[in-house]
Every structure is written in C-alpha cells, then in structure tokens.
Amino acid sequence: MRTPYRILWIFLAALALAHTSIAQEAAHVWTVAELFTRNIGTTQQQRTQFPPHKIVGNVYYVGTESLSAFLVVTPAGNILIDSTYEVNVPVIQDSFAKLGFKFSDIKIVLGSHAHGDHQEADAMVAEMTGARVMAMAEDLPALQTMRTPSGKARPMYQVLHDGDEVKLGGTTLVAHLTPGHTRGCTTWTMKTQEGGKSYDIAIIGSMGVNNGTRLWANGAMTPIGEEYVRGFKAMHAIHADVPLGSHPAMHGLAEKYARLKAGSATNPYIDPKGYETEVNIEETAFKMELENQQKAAPAVR
C-alpha cells in the first residue's frame, strides 16, 4: 500500500511490455506448475495494492497485484468478492477509500474458493461491516476449519448451491459450481451496463490443479479428477464478455490496466475471447497432468 504510484507506473509499464497478450499466451502450453507460479506471485505481490479502478459498469478492482478482490456497487449497498488474507484488509479498505466508497457499505461478502489467500478474512470483514457472508455448500467444511492469524471464529455462512442467485440493489450474481480446485469452487456471473450496452461478466474461481493432487489411481480417474471434468464442462457452458479471475494473471489485469490508463479507445476488459482462452489454458494443463499421471501409474493387474 505504501508503494508510490509513480514507481508502480514504471512497474506496470514494464509488466505490460514483458507480458504477451492473452491470445499469445494461448499458444504456450502451460504446465500445472507454471500456472501456479503465474497466478500466485510472490508474497510481496500478494500484499501490494494494485491501483484500485473501475473495470466496467458497477464492478471495480480493489485487490492486490496477485490476489483479486472485486467490488460490486449497488444502490442498496455493495458486494465484496474475495476478502483475501486478513493482512490485506487495510489494503482493500484503502482501495475503497481511493475510489470514494465506504468499506462499511459492504452488505454481502462472497468468495471464489476455500483457500486462505481468497477467503481467510471473511470473518474479519463481516465483523467490521455487519455484512452477510455466503459460500457454496461443498466448500463449507474447508471454510469452517480454516485457521486465521487473528484466531477469529469463522462466520455463519449462508449456504449456496449451484445456480443460486445473490441479489442486491438491482444486481444479480449467479453462483456456478465449478469444482476441482476445491470441492465448492465457484465461478460468479453477472450482467452490467455501460455506454448503453449490457455485458456478461464471469469471475473464474480457479481450475488450476493443486500440487500433489491425484487425478489418476488404480487404473481409473479419481473422484477429484472427475470433479475437474465436471468443472470444465460447467465452465465451457458460461459466456463472458468480461472475463475476470480470482488471480489477476487469469485475466491479464496488468496488461489491460496499462492499456486502460494509456487511453485505449475501447475498454480492454471487454474481451470475449479471453474467457475461453483462459479456460482452455487451464483445461490443457489439467489434461497434461492427467496424462502424465496415467503414464507414471503402475500397470493394473
């Protein structure tokens, strides 16, 4: 949060030049390990504020350089998607303030999936704002056993199921169960309007394969492997004009923000091809890992 914006501009410009476009990335066959490194970043990147800004319509970015947090603004209060780590709450608060919004106006807290880097601070935010906290049923066991630096008890989650709608102030978000990365990994979709046009937004929970996950054993796909297959099927059924992700690298945040600030004639976040590109990148990595495990598995007799 203390990084001077002048220095951050240099960082952004360099990053935009160094990174290939989303389309070019698709030409590279990413491994599971490479995607993990791309997404997670360094500890410093996980804690350093990315310039808060409007993405499109009533959706804003309030996260860090490698951990996404999204603000959805409505007349009846606001929605926060992904609280990230407890240590980042002051960073998110400052992002709200820089955008002219009140942190206390958060009415609902949602999450992408039950990992600490995305939902550790759920209880802290709920305590500070009085917001309702909601999560997919399949992720509740992991969320309820999650430990936090503050030692706060986990919040009372309102249980969601695949296809459930979360409504506030005329905005509707739809929860899509896209399992694999966690049992209840959730991809959120919503519509927003800008310039007289309506856009479909998808916030990808994550479909990356966790380190050490067994996708194949005893001559067959494991239950978690089957969950990934169902997750990718659900992902392909979603349409998105504006693809976003639980990690900024999943939607090319640095590159698109640099273009936005450079005065792009069109909103770079409006990227219909980018959604399927990212889904295909992650699915290809999954299939590669599955194939590697099949080859390495002992013959079943």
Tokens at residue 67, please? 């951990």
- Please give the tally of structural domains in the chain: 1
Residue 138 in any domain: the answer is yes
Residue 35 in any domain: the answer is yes
Question: Which pLDDT value is given to residue 187?
Answer: 98
Residue 234: CATH number of its domain: 3.60.15.10
Residue 121 in any domain: the answer is yes
Residue 268 in any domain: the answer is yes
Tokens at residue 87, please? 């240590």
Residue 12 in any domain: the answer is yes
Domain extent for 149: 5-296
Residue 197 in any domain: the answer is yes
Residue 15 in any domain: the answer is yes
Overall residue count recorded for the chain in this entry: 301
Give the global pTM: 0.90
Residue 301 in any domain: the answer is no
DSSP structure string for the chain: --S-HHHHHHHHHHHHHHSPPHHHHHHS---HHHHHHHHH--HHHHHSBPPPEEEETTEEE--BSSS--EEEEETTEEEEE----GGGHHHHHHHHHHHT--GGGEEEEE-S-SSHHHHTTHHHHHHHH--EEEEEGGGHHHHHT---TT-PPPP-EEEE-TT-EEEETTEEEEEEE--SSSTT-EEEEEEEEETTEEEEEEEE---PPPTT---EETTEE-HHHHHHHHHHHHHHT---SEEEESSGGGGTHHHHHHHHHTT-SS-TT--HHHHHHHHHHHHHHHHHHHHHHHHHSPPP-
Per-residue pLDDT of the chain (301 residues; tens, 9 = 90+): 445 554 555 555 454 444 444 444 447 889 999 999 999 999 999 999 999 999 999 999 999 999 999 999 999 999 999 999 999 999 999 999 999 999 999 999 999 999 999 999 999 999 999 999 999 999 999 999 999 999 999 999 999 999 999 999 999 999 999 999 999 999 999 999 999 999 999 999 999 999 899 999 999 999 999 999 999 999 999 999 999 999 999 999 999 999 999 999 999 999 999 999 999 999 999 999 999 999 998 876 6
